Amino acid sequence: MIMLSTFLALAITLILPLFLYDFYQTLYLKTPAFTNWPFVGMLPRFLWNISRIHEFQVQLLKSKGGTVEFLRPWFTKMKTVITADPRNVHHIMSKSFDNFVKGDLFREMFQAFGEGIFTTDSIQWKYHRNLLQYLFKQRSFEAFQEKVIHNKVEKSLIPLLNHVQQLGLMDDLQDIFNRFTFDNICLIVLGNDPNCLSLDFPEIAVEKAFNQAEESIFYKHTVPKFVWRLQRWLQIGEEKKMTEACKVFDKFLYDCIASKCEELLKNCNKNEDDAKSEKNHHIDFLTAMIGEEKSKASENGDKFLRDFAFNLFVAGRDTITSALTWLFYLIATHPLVETNILKEIKENFGHKEKPWVLSVDETKKLVYLHGAICESLRLFPPVPFERKEAIKPDILPSGYHVYPNTMILVSIYAMGRYEDIWGKDCLEFKPERWISEWGGINYVPSYKFFSFNAGPRTCLGRDLAFIQIKMVVASILWNYCVHVVEDNYIIPNLSIILLMKHGLKVKITKRGI
């Protein structure tokens, strides 16, 4: 006990002055530069700015030309390179793709993801990628996705918003989108509708568990690994929360897998025509996976299906929630953009009766809305950073030397505010920057517009994401006016997904067009 007290006193004596000096630099000198202190490295300034970490990285990277080496405390023996330079991104994600991997530490930190497409490398990753690509290209699956999204908007989202509007309630639009995307992803991946988006706003434990897991994973990036490993061993703090969250969503996923297997077994007893007819109308990912991957599922048991489903949940739920929330915030605070979106909808579909939901083909006509979505994703990317690890020594185009096990953090948030890519007006919300002289969409290379990743790992669900967002935005804006509550404090949360910490409080009124 005495030794512990002595250690804490020594740590406070050494570190407190560093925090005070960094505070002085931030408040009076207005400098974002890291100081590499003895023993603790650059940790004090990082911890001081943790509550505004994304904006801090923007400042830091701007002052350092787009790339900086972050030195952690010496006892962690870990170096990190943080970058927003598109040259480095192109090198890491495409040109030297095989040399920059997720790595074993990444898989340990993202343990909840299991051995899915987001955590695996090399042959195992290629297997997941090819399988998912094959499933995405099935026409019956495309039709099923469109039907799910269309029905959920028409029969759940619009009636709920109508209910909120009629009662004159103030509501959290982020929570509504969270429920909407959770229902959607459950239907698309598992073929199961939990009806989160109902008028009584039920509490869904598994939905909260996913959020907790993501926040706990972010926490691991803010402390030395021995800290969270110790917490995991003692089952305290964030690691205890992670364990409890894993129990909740694991039970949910395994129960869904068992139910689906039982359902498919019953279908085997039907005649072939009936089974084929049902399959064509109900092609969720889990059904397709069990059908295509019987040997793999048999070899690894339900764990393979569980990991596959979990990865798709994170990809298709939280990212869409984030995209919709920030987009509606930006539209509501930029009346001219809202006017232009409504004008485009009216010119193309003004003859439609309310309520009304776009079809997939109709979404392609909304070019200005597409630009607004891209602009929102640029400023507020759902996944604010991408992490890689070097296998062999290399030199980045910016001149930085990286060595084996060097962690590379690409700040996607900072890239969206990088003047060298987007110009002096990079902080402005301007959908017009995405529209060409001929009225089409301007192409921006993925290593510059990194919201859907780049290179071989480019997001397979990109087109589906745009379709879903356009369906939601067009339906809501055509029917309602969304007003952000004035005292709503808008700041990002601390998670691997960029959501609003306090939600998006709004008042909804009927639109008269």
Instruction: Give residue 451's Cα distance to chain centre.
Output: 9
Residue 297 host element (H or E): helix 294-300
pLDDT recorded at residue 278: 46
pLDDT recorded at residue 7: 42
Q: Assess whether 176 and 35 both reside in one domain.
A: no
pLDDT per residue over 22-80, tens digit each?
555 554 444 555 565 555 666 667 777 788 889 988 988 998 899 988 766 555 566 78
Q: Assess whether 334 and 362 both reside in one domain.
A: yes
Residue 78: Cβ-neighbour burial (10 angstroms; 0-12, 13-18, 19+): middle
pLDDT recorded at residue 269: 62
CATH number at residue 262: 1.10.630.10
pLDDT recorded at residue 223: 81
Q: Assess whether 252 and 367 both reside in one domain.
A: yes
pLDDT recorded at residue 22: 54
pLDDT per residue over 163-180, tens digit each?
888 887 788 999 999 999
Q: Assess whether 114 and 63 both reside in one domain.
A: no
CATH number at residue 9: 3.30.43.20
SS3 of residue 17 by DSSP: helix
Q: Would you give the DSSP letter of residue 66?
A: T
Spell out, as residue ranges, where the chain has pLDDT lower than 70. Answer: 1-44, 71-78, 269-282, 292-301, 351-355, 512-513
Q: Assess whether 341 and 426 both reside in one domain.
A: yes
Q: Assess whether 405 and 324 both reside in one domain.
A: no
Q: Assess whether 214 and 280 both reside in one domain.
A: yes
Q: Assess whether 102 and 234 both reside in one domain.
A: yes
In whole angstroms, give the CA distance from residue 415 to residue 428.
14
Q: Assess whether 75 and 115 both reside in one domain.
A: no
Q: Assess whether 44 and 186 both reside in one domain.
A: no
Count of the separate structural domains present in the chain: 2
What is the layout of strands, in order, in the sheet containing 67-71?
67-71, 79-83, 407-411, 385-390, 100-101
Q: Assess whether 406 and 499 both reside in one domain.
A: no
- State which residues form the domain around 360: 96-381+416-510
Which of 396, 415, 434 terminates a domain? The answer is: 415
pLDDT recorded at residue 350: 75
Tokens standing for 365?
Answer: 């006509």
Q: Would you give the DSSP letter of residue 270?
A: S
Q: Assess whether 445 and 499 both reside in one domain.
A: yes
SS3 of residue 218 by DSSP: helix
Tokens standing for 439?
Answer: 């009225």
